Homo-oligomer: A and B are copies of this chain.
């Protein structure tokens, strides 16, 4: 890629971004769109910000917001995400402030091995500013050694501060005196319960076991049941209820429209409403609902009584006991009565709860194996793709596209975007698969599964994208080299780094301009919402469903950011010009996501910052990769004092070790000095207990908590006593 195509890419991206931002400013000002642009505020019952604003108010608002605003409006996990963004930005800023003024002149004034940087046939002016322009063995390399040390120590310092800060955030959240919203602080999740003795139900078994150990603070237990069948009935019932509401709305509308009697909506009962007898929808639904309600109740009774599984939630009337119980060994046989702190009710993966200890272990290993195979075997196609999609190769392989790509404008754009697009589309396919795999491991909570998936995605993206593309871009030119010495991947990786610097520059630029532009403007949700509102939604509930925003989607967001950070780390010293791009990425990200977090996105769970240790470890891993790569690259440059880099990876390992020893366990268990904080009021254990009843067993539906307390209570007491 030459310099002009790089500039083209940058300019196009920027123009797209400006257009999207203007679109956002225009659209978000219209009151009818406030559910698209301020859903979080609306759901929190706040003013959606309908006051007249100029197009850039959101920027000043984002800057004015404090961490407390984020905590209030979006929770600890979001605040932790901003700590991550701020840390990355801080590292890059400090690195840039020192490296750019030092390394750029040092590199630019040398006139080294231009032949080397053109080995890809892609000489660019940018390469003059990189380490590739330095002569072998030159004493100027000392400046770069200093650069590596500077980046490393800046990272240690900021990461240490960040870990401390996140630990405080977590502690503050856990010791908050508001007990109301935090049912999970009073419960533990018990798995691998042994078969109850003859003549005892599982429920009695659990009750007697925990009552004996915690006579004072044990409140009640809830045995996990096999809800598959009852859930099916309930889903069906809910479906008919929604359909009924929809049909009634359509009927009312038709009445208003002219026809006084209205047109009663009809549908067919068969497959997808396409075949079968035609019936009056309202009558049909009413009939079905009346039929299903007793069925559901009967099924609920059967489920509660007879489908108890070997897992339970146990509730305590004291936060401290619950925190302690979640860490303690209860049974002599360690693989029975295993306990963990209970996750939030909304993020429980019910079907995973009764999975047995060794089954979980086995599933885990199988999943690891699958992920390993995925990572390894995707490496080949992605390497080939990026090697084939250089334009020169495409022309050779697909001669019929020659006339198209020979046009200057098209060629430049294609050259700029082709490889990146292939990469981005490819990366979009994977996360769902990895999340599915993580859930298949038997993990009990959504947030944990997301963390696990995000970890897999990180390894995947770093290994495949970074190493794959770096090596793949030079695949054909270095095929012979590889055949000669397959065992020296670090020198190979290191020597192919500078040639790909511009590729990654474009990649980063594309990500931040187009990616953040799309996120800010919410073009896709905007269009979907307006289409649905016009053609599909009839009832209030349907409309709300149409605009309800998603969450921050940590599962893919973190690995994406981490990939950028890894790339910027690795090039930070080799081609320091990448640092400003990284700064823009994280700066713009901070700004855009601040707006999203305050106004748009609604977290779908709260893990109180349990994501941080994973982020931390991965940043250190990225740093380590950078240090090892630099070691190799100095070696390639035949720098005599290359071993001076060796202490750095060791430092990183010690740093990771100390951090994990100092902070990690608190992110797994709750420290008692935190849990013992006094509560403002005695928690209503009945409410805590109820919040864990799954909806299909009569637990609170989104809005039915106040309407049918009788029902829910009777369910509860049925769970509590009969069963």
Binding site for B on A (CB under 8 A): 167, 171, 209, 212-213, 320, 323-324, 327-335, 337, 357-358, 361, 657-658, 661-666, 669-674, 676
A329/B671 in contact, CB under 8 A: yes
CA gap between A218 and B22 in the complex, in Å: 65
Bound Cα distance from A669 to B335, whole angstroms:
14
A610–B657 CA distance with the chains assembled, in angstroms: 27
With known contacts A329-B669, A671-B329, A334–B676 Cβ distance under 8 A = no
Distance in Å: Cβ of A173 to nearest Cβ of chain B? 12
**Which of B332, B670, B671, B672 is the one whose CB lies under 8 Å from A167?**
B332
Shortest Cβ distance from A225 into chain B, in angstroms? Answer: 25
> Within the assembled complex, what's the spacing in Å between the Cα atoms of A665 and B336?
12
Contacts A324-B324, A658-B358: A329 and B665 contacting too (C-beta < 8 A)? yes
A167 to B334, CA, bound (A): 11
Query: With a CB–CB cut-off of 8 A, which chain B residues contact A330?
Result: 671-673
Nearest B residue to A334 by beta-carbon distance?
B665
Query: Do A676 and B213 form a contact, CB below 8 Å, given A327-B327, A327-B329, A329-B666?
Result: yes
Kindly identify which residue among B171, B213, B332, B333 contacts A332, using a CB–CB cutoff of 8 Å. Answer: B171
What residues on B are CB-neighbors of A167 within 8 Å?
Answer: 332-333
Which chain B residue has the least Cβ–Cβ distance from A665? B334
* Given A212-B673, A331-B673, 14 other A-B residues pairs in contact with their CB atoms under 8 A: A167-B332, A209-B673, A212-B676, A328-B328, A328-B669, A329-B669, A331-B671, A333-B663, A334-B662, A334-B663, A334-B665, A337-B673, A358-B658, A358-B661
Q: A673–B337 Cα gap in the complex (Å)?
A: 10
In-complex Cβ contact of A334 among B329, B361, B664 (8 A): B664
Across the interface, do A661 and B334 meet the contact criterion of CB distance under 8 Å? yes
Of all A-B residue pairs in the complex, the 7 with the closest CB atoms, nearest first, are A334-B665, A329-B669, A335-B662, A332-B671, A329-B671, A330-B672, A213-B672
Q: Can you sample 28 A-B contacts with CB below 8 Å? A: A167-B332, A167-B333, A171-B332, A212-B673, A212-B676, A213-B672, A213-B673, A213-B676, A323-B328, A324-B328, A327-B327, A328-B328, A328-B669, A328-B672, A329-B665, A329-B671, A330-B672, A330-B673, A331-B671, A332-B666, A332-B673, A333-B663, A334-B662, A334-B664, A334-B665, A337-B673, A358-B661, A361-B657
Q: Which residue of B lies closest to A357 (CB)?
A: B661
Closest partner residue, chain B, to A168 (CB atom): B332
Complex contact B335–A661 (CB within 8 A): yes
The answer for the CA separation of A459 and B167 in the assembled complex, in Å, is 40
Q: Which residues of B contact A337 (CB under 8 A)?
A: 673
Task: Name the one of B213, B361, B666 contacting A661, with C-beta atoms under 8 angstroms.
Answer: B361
- Residues of B with C-beta under 8 A to A657: 361
* Bound CA span A674–B676, Å: 25
Q: Which residue of B lies closest to A666 (CB)?
A: B332
Interface residue from B329, B331, B672 paired with A329 (Cβ < 8 Å): B672
Instruction: Report A365 CB to chain B, min CB distance, Å.
Output: 10
Which residue among A361, A665, A671, A672 has the maximum number of chain B CB atoms within 10 Å of its CB? A672
- Residues in B with CB closer than 8 Å to A673 are 209, 212-213, 330-332, 337
A673 vs B210: C-alpha distance in the bound complex, in angstroms?
A: 9
Interchain CA distance A361-B660 in the complex, whole Å: 13
Q: With A and B bound together, what is the CA distance between A333 and B667 in angstroms?
A: 10
Distance (whole angstroms) from the CB of A660 to the closest CB of chain B: 9
Q: Which residues of B contact A663 (CB under 8 A)?
A: 333-334
Q: How far is the CA of A665 from the CA of B330 in the complex (A)?
A: 10
Shortest Cβ gap from A316 to chain B (Å): 13
List of B residues within 8 angstroms of A358 by Cβ? 658, 661
Which residues from chain B contact A661 at a C-beta distance below 8 Å? 334-335, 357-358, 361
Q: Considering only CB atoms, which chain B residue lies closest to A675 in the complex?
A: B213
Set of chain B residues within 8 Å of A658, measured between Cβ atoms:
358
Judging by beta carbons under 8 Å apart, are A333 and B662 in contact? yes
Closest beta carbon of chain B to A166's beta carbon, Å: 11
Chain B residues closer than 8 Å to A361, beta-carbon distance: 657, 661
Partner of A320, one of B213, B323, B333: B213
A125 to chain B, nearest CB (A): 49
Give Cα A658–Cα B361 distance, bound, in whole angstroms: 10
Contacts of A331 in B (CB 8 A): 671, 673
Which residue on B lies nearest to A175, using beta carbons? B332
Cα A337 to Cα B674 with chains together (Å)? 13
**Complexed CA–CA distance, A673 and B676 (Å):** 23
Bound Cα distance from A662 to B332, whole angstroms: 9
CA distance A657 to B364 in the complex (A): 14
Whole-angstrom CA separation of A130 from B612 in the bound complex: 60
Select from chain B the residue with minimum beta-carbon distance to A215. B676
Cα-based distance from A129 to B171 in the complex (angstroms): 70
Closest chain B residue, CB of each to CB of A658: B358
Quick one: which of A332, A334, A664 has the most chain B CB within 10 A? A332
On whether A332 and B209 interact (CB within 8 A), knowing A361-B661, A658-B358, A661-B357, the answer reads: no
A112 to B664, CA, bound (A): 61
- Complex Cα–Cα for A266 and B167 (A): 69
Instruction: Give bound CA distance, A661 to B333, whole Å.
Output: 9
Please, which residue of chain B has its CB at the minimum distance from the CB of A323? B328
Contacts of A334 in B (CB 8 A): 661-666
Chain B minimum-CB-distance residue to A164: B333
Chain B residues, Cβ within 8 Å of A328: 323-324, 327-328, 669, 672
Q: In the complex, which residues of chain B have a beta carbon less than 8 angstroms from the beta carbon of A320?
A: 213
Minimum Cβ distance to chain B for residue A679 (Å): 15
Specify which of A324, A330, A664 lies most central, judged by the most chain B CB atoms within 10 Å of its CB: A324
List of B residues within 8 angstroms of A662 by Cβ: 333-335
Residues of B within 8 A of A323 (CB): 328
The distance in angstroms between the C-alpha atoms of A153 and B483, with both chains bound, is 46
- With contacts A358-B658, A661-B357, A661-B361 known, is A674 near B332, CB below 8 A? yes
Nearest CB of chain B from residue A610's CB, rounded to whole Å: 14
A604 to B334, alpha carbons, bound, how many Å? 29
Q: What CA separation (Å) do A335 and B671 show in the bound complex?
A: 12
Chain B residues whose CB sits within 8 angstroms of the CB of A335 once the complex forms: 661-662
Identify the closest chain B residue to A321 (Cβ).
Answer: B324
CA distance A424 to B14 in the complex (A): 79
> Which residue of chain B is the closest to A336 with respect to CB atoms?
B662
Which chain B residue has the least Cβ–Cβ distance from A171? B332
